[in-house]
């Protein structure tokens, strides 16, 4: 790659010719403040916070979009630069609601941070304020355009990363807003509720719908038996929400914290992840052996399920009918568990802690009442759980490590890896291979399906059959695979699709500041959890075996069909 | 997102036949959106939601993006417009010669505010900054006709010509 020499604040460095001034500054170890810039999205140069002085240029330039050239001399810290940055941020603050202390993003807001870092003590402008009604008519996300600073990151995340294109800039001048078409609510347009927009939003303009009040209410009701399930991706990210390093594994402390919050039982979604593998794996073999629709595609990710229902309804036959682990858990907790414990299911409140905003919408789907009640009552995201722990005054880092409750807290490493892209596929392969061959696998690590490559393909030899699999994460990558299927060019047997980058660990409900580096650390933590598990194959889960032996019968049996499988329908929005 | 089952303005048949014919012309043409929106607006008088959705589907452009473009440019209208467009000049010359009173007379007569359209779709009332006929101030245009040296009293007679 051709390199050029640039001087940043007196320091000479070599950078690729294609670099921007911002990238060159980073390479020189100089931090330039940014707002609309996001390292994983196309730079836009919208906010002008990253302005710097380039020798010879007529005016200050936006470093995030300004290309370097050889011999360029850049100054990032001059009176003119500091004054310009301050003015830009002051102008943003002039029409921004001043309710930081009671804002959902208080202490976790990039606008707040940058105002602090730039030393803004007085806003010299008293501008007109925006006064838009909130968009809160969906179960997952709340939009408050009054807090929008028009950085456009949500537009780019939704278009570039997800290929869904919900948002665009609309109108002009002071009336410019970020909006779905026709200023409709997210419930009226083809939004999957994946929440990636919320993870890139620098302010509280897009946040998860906060359901913590309902959970607190249930926890304080002595007549209710409140159980919680925790998704695999929460245990490797919750620590981040509470000030720990990315990739910290906090399973034991999380369980302890949930007990201290007052949950009667602390269970693990990994238990039903193992169950999902048995049902979905059996379904796959059934389809394979009896001419069913192939490729079969996983259905664990509710953002992905919304996507296919909205955009590719003609391909719904490819979706596994197996419910997601969250919903299998919900159906069982108010039937199997209620029976086993002698608790009236109407007194059970089933809460799930998820890395995901779309799970909130999944829980309220009409089909998800297999127990006769709403199977999962409340879904809180990792961020909401973090806030509850803080609100309760729990010193998370000082908690002892505690174990999940039996039986629905017993799980294998195969259940844990559901949290990372490729994990469901790997877990399924571990089980399917052993069921088909009747022999124990020599190596159960399927490295080909791991990692952050957008679309991964692998061929796996199972007995006489070469099984061709594909794994995609992000909906933009899902779209590529679906287009191949539509054209008849996809000869895969089995496909795993997760809506979010990196899988659930990069979910829309995870701690903000999700970037590739953090995602990789969370993924590493997930596989470490798997490595440390005593059991690493779903079909070896003793609690799942007991469930089948004593209550459920066999995979794809009558009871399974009623409780653990579902159907899909085209969504028109 | 298909709008096939909805009718926009012309009953029966394929209400999009004319639109589709126009869109076919622009298949695969880069940068076609603005001329497409202009032609579609000429057909329908404005850009109904169903028409924008049809354009999105046929040109494979996200509907949110088309909405963004259509709301950015003041030449595009998302609501029905009157058969007669009144443009009342509020430029400096007209202003000093009483354009405010002229505008108010029209608003009172038509019972709509500037920017509005009468319920019978006869008139849309707009203000403009200058139409370049300062010698005739205060001045207004109805469609392509210019009416100058106005007084509030002259308004009913002018409007009656187009009613």
* pLDDT tens sequence across A497-529: 999 999 999 999 999 977 889 999 999 999 999
Q: Identify whether residues A275 and A201 lie together within a single domain.
A: no
A250 plus A386 within the same structural domain: yes
Cβ contact, residue pair B72, A165, below 8 Å: no
- The proportion of chain A whose per-residue pLDDT surpasses 70, expressed as a percent, equals 100
Interface residue of B51, B64, B71 to substitute, partner A, most A CBs within 10 Å: B64
Whether residues B57 and B99 share a domain: the answer is: no
Nearest in space to A362 (alpha carbons), one of A279, A424, A299 = A299
3-state DSSP of A13-72? EEEECCCEHHHHHHHCCCCCCCCCCCCCCCCCCCCCCCEEEECCCCCCEECCCCECCCCC
More confident residue, A335 or A573: A335
Domain boundary among B26, B52, B72: B72
* Chain A residues inside the 8 Å CB shell of B47: none
Contacts of A573 in chain B (CB under 8 A): 1
A173 at B interface, C-beta within 8 A: no
- Confirm or reject contact between A569 and chain B (CB < 8 A): no
The answer to the question of residue A103 being in a domain is: no
A221, A203: one domain: no
Cβ–Cβ gap A168/B72 under 8 Å? no
Catalytic residues of A: 280, 283, 300, 320, 359, 362, 367, 504
- CATH assignment of the domain containing A549: 3.40.50.1780
pLDDT (0 to 100) of residue A243: 94
Q: What is the pLDDT of residues B100-135, one digit of tens each?
A: 999 999 999 999 999 999 999 999 999 999 999 999
> What's phi and psi for A467, nearest 5 deg?
-90, 125
Within a domain: B32: yes
Over residues A379-402, mean pLDDT: 97
* Residue where a domain stops, chosen among A157, A173, A208: A208
Nearest to A167 among B49, B64, B71 (CB): B64
Q: Into how many domains does chain A fold?
A: 3
Same domain, B135 and B157: yes
Mean pLDDT calculated for residue range A346-364: 98
One domain for residues A204 and A237: no
CA distance B163 to chain A (A): 32
pLDDT score of B4 more than 70:
no
pLDDT of residue A127: 80
Among chain B residues, the shortest Cα distance to A310 is held by B1
| CATH code (residue A151) | 3.30.70.20
Contact yes or no for A165 and B1 at CB 8 A: no
Q: How far is A476 from chain B (nearest CA, A)?
A: 14
Do B58 and B88 have their domain in common?
A: no
Residue A110: inside a domain: no
- Final residue before a domain boundary, out of A142, A174, A208: A208
* Cα nearest neighbour of B63 on chain A: A181
What does DSSP assign to residue A474? S
Whether residue B146 is contained in a domain is answered as yes
**Does B147 reside within a domain?**
yes
Asked if B26 reaches chain A (Cβ–Cβ under 8 Å), the answer is no
- Give the E-state strand segments of A269-356 in sequence order: 296-297, 348-354
Does A182 contact chain B (CB < 8 Å)?
yes
Contact list in A for residue B37 (CB cut-off 8 A) is: none
User: Per residue in A399-428, is it b (16+ CB within 10 Å) or e — as a string?
Assistant: beebebbebbbbbbbbbbbbbbbbbbbbbb
Q: Is residue B144 part of a domain?
A: yes
| Beta-bridge mates of residue A494 | A296, A469
- Contact list in A for residue B63 (CB cut-off 8 A) is 165, 181
Task: Please give the helix or strand (H or E) that residue A265 lies within, else none.
Answer: strand A265-268
pLDDT tens readout for residues A49-92: 999 999 999 999 999 999 999 999 999 999 999 999 999 999 99
What does the pLDDT read at residue B13? 60
Domain shared by A377 and A465, yes or no? yes
As for how many domains chain B has, the answer is 2
Tell me how crowded residue A264 is: count the other CB atoms within 10 A of its CB. Answer: 16
Would the CB atoms of A181 and B64 count as touching at under 8 Å? yes
Using one digit for the tens of pLDDT, what is the confidence trace for A479-497? Answer: 999 999 999 999 999 999 9
Query: CA separation (Å) from B123 to A236, A471, B80, B147?
Result: 63, 58, 10, 16
Q: Is residue A466 part of a domain?
A: yes
Clarify whether residues B65 and B117 are in a common domain: no
Note whether A231 and A287 are same-domain residues: yes
CB contact under 8 Å between B67 and A167, yes or no, is no
Same-domain status, B111 and B149: yes
Across the interface, whether the CB atoms of B62 and A171 are under 8 A apart is answered no
pTM confidence score: 0.93
Q: Which of B60, B71, B72 to mutate to test the interface with A (most CBs of A within 10 A)?
A: B71
What distance in Å separates the CA atoms of residue A89 and residue A401, rounded to the nearest whole number?
44
CA distances, A121 to each of A145, A195, A390, B153 (Å): 25, 33, 29, 56
Last residue of a domain, one of A45, A68, A92: A92
Same domain, B139 and B92: yes
Contact (Cβ atoms closer than 8 angstroms) between residue A370 and residue A233? no
Residue A405 within any structural domain of the chain: yes
pLDDT at A415: 97
Is residue A161 domain-shared with residue A265, that is, in the same domain? no
Query: Which pLDDT tens digit goes with each residue over A26-37?
Result: 999 999 999 999
Residue A388 lies in a domain: yes
Q: Which of B72, B107, B139 is the last residue of a domain?
A: B72
Across the interface, which of B49, B65, B78 has its CB nearest the CB of A168? B65
Give yes or no for residue B7 having a pLDDT over 50: no
Please tell me if residue A483 touches chain B, with a CB cutoff of 8 Å: no
User: What does the pLDDT look like over B8-52, one tens digit per residue?
Assistant: 444 456 779 999 999 999 988 999 999 999 999 999 989 999 999
ipTM associated with this complex: 0.92
Nearest to B64 among A166, A172, A572 (CB): A166
Mean pLDDT value of segment A330-348: 98
| Contact state of B72 with A190 under an 8 Å Cβ cutoff | no
Clarify whether residues A37 and A85 are in a common domain: yes
For residue B125, what pLDDT is reported?
96
A97 within a domain of the structure (yes/no): no
Closest Cα in chain B to A186: B64
Q: Containing domain of residue A401, as a range?
A: 213-564
Tell me the β-bridge partners of A51.
A62
The verdict on A170 touching B (C-beta cutoff 8 Å) is yes
Residue with tokens 């990558």: A477
Regarding whether B56 and B24 lie in a shared domain, the answer is: yes
- A-facing residues of B in 67-106 (CB < 8 A) are 67-68, 71-72, 78
Residues A409 and A336 in one domain: yes
| In the predicted structure, residue A202 carries a pLDDT above the cut 60 | yes
Check residue A150 and give left, alpha or beta (phi > 0: left; psi -120 to 50: alpha).
left
Record: contact A171-B66, CB cut-off 8 A: no
Same domain, A227 and A331: yes
Collect all residues of chain A within an 8 Å Cβ-Cβ radius of residue B64.
165-168, 179-181, 189
Q: Which domain holds residue B142?
A: 84-162
Collect all residues of chain B within an 8 Å Cβ-Cβ radius of residue A168: 62, 64-65, 67-68
Q: Which residues pair with A495 in a beta bridge?
A: A297, A470
Is B98 contained in some domain? yes
The tens digit of pLDDT for each residue in A248-277 reads 999 999 999 999 999 999 999 999 999 999
Encode pLDDT of A87-113 as tens digits: 999 999 999 999 999 999 999 999 999
In a domain, A111, yes or no: no
Q: Give dist(CA A197, CA A202) in Å, integer.
A: 10
Under 8 Å CB pairs connecting chains A and B tally to: 39
Pairing of strands B84-89, B140-142: antiparallel
Residues 6+ apart with CB under 8 A from A498: A300, A301, A304, A421, A424, A472, A473, A504
Q: Does B62 touch chain A (CB under 8 A)?
A: yes
Distance from CA of A167 to the nearest CA of B (A): 6
A166 near B CB under 8 A: yes
In degrees, rounded to 5, the angle at the alpha carbon of residue B64 between the alpha carbons of residues B61 and B70 is 90
ω into A139 cis (within 30 of 0): no
Q: Is B8 on the interface with A (CB under 8 A)?
A: no
Q: Are A164 and A143 contained in the same domain?
A: yes
Are residues A192 and A256 part of one domain?
no
| Shortest Cα distance, chain B CAs vs residue A314, angstroms | 14
Collect all residues of chain A within an 8 Å Cβ-Cβ radius of residue B78. Answer: 182
B88/B67 same-domain check: no
Mean pLDDT value across chain A = 97
Model confidence band, residue A292 (pLDDT cutoffs 50, 70, 90)? very high
Question: Are B91 and B150 contained in the same domain?
Answer: yes
Instruction: Encode A124-146: b = buried (16+ Cβ within 10 Å), e = exposed.
Output: eeeeeebeeeebeebbbbbbbbb
CATH number at residue B141: 3.40.30.10
Nearest CB among B1, B49, B71 relative to A170 is that of B71
- Round to whole Å and give the CA distance between A158 and A166: 7
Calculate how close chain A gets to B18, using CA atoms only, in Å.
Answer: 23
CATH number for the domain including A55?
Answer: 3.10.20.740
- CB-based contact B66 A181, cutoff 8 Å: yes
Residues 125-144 of B with CB under 8 A from A: none
Map tokens 């806030």 to a residue. Answer: A387
Residues of A whose CB is below 8 A from B1: 190, 572-573
Q: Is the pLDDT of residue B96 over 90?
A: yes
Within a domain: B8: no
User: Does residue A102 sit within a domain?
Assistant: no
Q: B53, B55, B68, B78: which to substitute to probe chain A, counting the most A Cβ within 10 Å?
A: B68
Q: Please determine, for residue B6, whether its predicted confidence score (pLDDT) is greater than 80.
A: no
Same structural domain, B140 and B92:
yes
Taking the CA of residue B49 and the nearest CA in chain A, the distance in Å comes to 8
């Amino acid at each position: 790659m051709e390199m050029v020499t640039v001087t940043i604040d007196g320091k000479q460095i070599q950078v690729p010719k294609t670099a921007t001034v911002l990238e060159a500054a980073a390479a020189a170890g100089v931090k330039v403040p940014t707002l609309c810039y996001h390292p994983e999205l196309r730079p836009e140069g919208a906010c002008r916070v990253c302005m710097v002085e380039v020798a010879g240029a007529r005016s200050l330039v936006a470093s995030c979009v300004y290309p370097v050239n050889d011999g360029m001399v850049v100054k990032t810290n001059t009176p003119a630069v500091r004054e310009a940055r301050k003015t830009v941020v002051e102008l943003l603050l002039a029409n921004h609601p001043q309710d930081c202390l009671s804002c959902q993003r208080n202490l976790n807001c990039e606008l707040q941070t940058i105002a602090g870092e730039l030393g803004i003590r007085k806003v010299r402008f008293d501008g007109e304020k925006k006064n838009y009604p909130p968009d809160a008519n969906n179960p997952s996300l709340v939009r408050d355009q009054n807090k929008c600073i028009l950085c456009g990151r949500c537009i780019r995340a939704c278009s570039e990363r997800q290929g869904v294109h919900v948002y665009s800039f609309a109108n002009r001048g002071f009336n410019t807003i970020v909006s779905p078409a026709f200023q409709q609510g997210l419930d009226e347009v083809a939004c999957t509720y994946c929440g990636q927009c919320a993870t890139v939003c620098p302010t509280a303009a897009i946040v998860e719908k906060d359901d913590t009040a309902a959970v607190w209410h249930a926890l304080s009701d002595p007549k209710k038996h409140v159980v919680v399930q925790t998704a695999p991706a929460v245990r490797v990210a919750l620590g981040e929400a509470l000030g720990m390093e990315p990739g910290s594994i906090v399973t034991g402390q999380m369980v302890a914290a949930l007990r201290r919050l007052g949950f009667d039982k602390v269970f693990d979604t990994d238990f039903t992840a193992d169950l999902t593998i048995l049902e979905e794996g059996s379904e796959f073999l059934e389809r394979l052996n009896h001419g069913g629709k192939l490729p079969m595609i996983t259905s664990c990710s509710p953002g992905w399920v919304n996507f296919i229902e909205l955009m590719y309804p003609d391909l719904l036959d490819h979706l596994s009918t197996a419910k997601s682990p969250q919903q299998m858990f919900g159906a069982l907790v108010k039937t199997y568990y209620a029976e086993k414990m002698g608790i009236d299911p109407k007194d059970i409140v089933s809460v799930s802690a998820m890395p995901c905003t779309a799970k909130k919408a999944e829980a309220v789907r009409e089909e998800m009442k297999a127990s006769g009640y709403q199977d999962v009552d409340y879904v809180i995201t990792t961020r909401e759980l973090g806030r509850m722990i803080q609100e309760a005054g729990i010193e998370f880092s000082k908690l002892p490590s505690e174990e999940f409750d039996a039986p629905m807290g017993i799980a294998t490493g195969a259940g844990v890896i559901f949290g990372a892209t490729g994990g469901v596929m790997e877990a399924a392969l571990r089980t399917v291979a052993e069921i088909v061959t009747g022999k124990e696998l020599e190596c159960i690590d399927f490295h080909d399906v791991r990692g952050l490559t957008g679309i991964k393909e692998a061929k796996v030899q199972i007995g006489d059959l070469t099984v061709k699999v594909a794994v995609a994460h992000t909906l933009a990558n899902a779209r590529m695979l679906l287009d191949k299927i539509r054209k008849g060019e996809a000869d895969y047997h089995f496909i795993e699709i997760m809506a979010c980058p990196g899988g659930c660990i990069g979910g829309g409900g995870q701690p903000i500041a999700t970037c590739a580096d953090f995602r990789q650390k969370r993924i590493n933590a997930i596989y470490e959890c798997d490595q440390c598990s005593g059991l690493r194959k779903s079909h070896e889960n003793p609690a799942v075996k007991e469930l089948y032996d004593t209550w459920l019968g066999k995979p794809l049996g009558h009871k399974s069909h009623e409780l653990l499988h579902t159907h899909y329908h085209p969504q028109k929005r | 997102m298909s709008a096939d089952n909805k009718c926009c303005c012309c009953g029966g048949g394929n209400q999009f036949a004319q639109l589709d014919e126009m869109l076919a012309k622009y298949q695969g043409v880069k940068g076609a959106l603005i001329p497409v929106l202009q032609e579609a607006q000429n057909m329908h008088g404005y850009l109904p939601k169903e028409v924008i959705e049809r354009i999105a589907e046929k040109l494979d452009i996200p509907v949110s993006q088309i909405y963004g473009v259509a709301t950015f440019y003041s030449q595009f209208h998302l609501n029905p417009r009157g058969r007669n467009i009144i443009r009342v000049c509020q430029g400096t010359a007209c202003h000093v010669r009483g354009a405010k009173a002229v505008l108010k007379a029209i608003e009172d007569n038509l019972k709509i505010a500037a920017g509005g359209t009468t319920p019978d779709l006869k008139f849309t009332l707009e203000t403009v900054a200058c139409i370049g006929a300062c010698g005739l101030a205060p001045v207004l245009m109805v469609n392509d006709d210019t009416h100058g040296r106005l007084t509030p009293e002259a308004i009913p007679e002018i409007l009656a010509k187009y009613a």
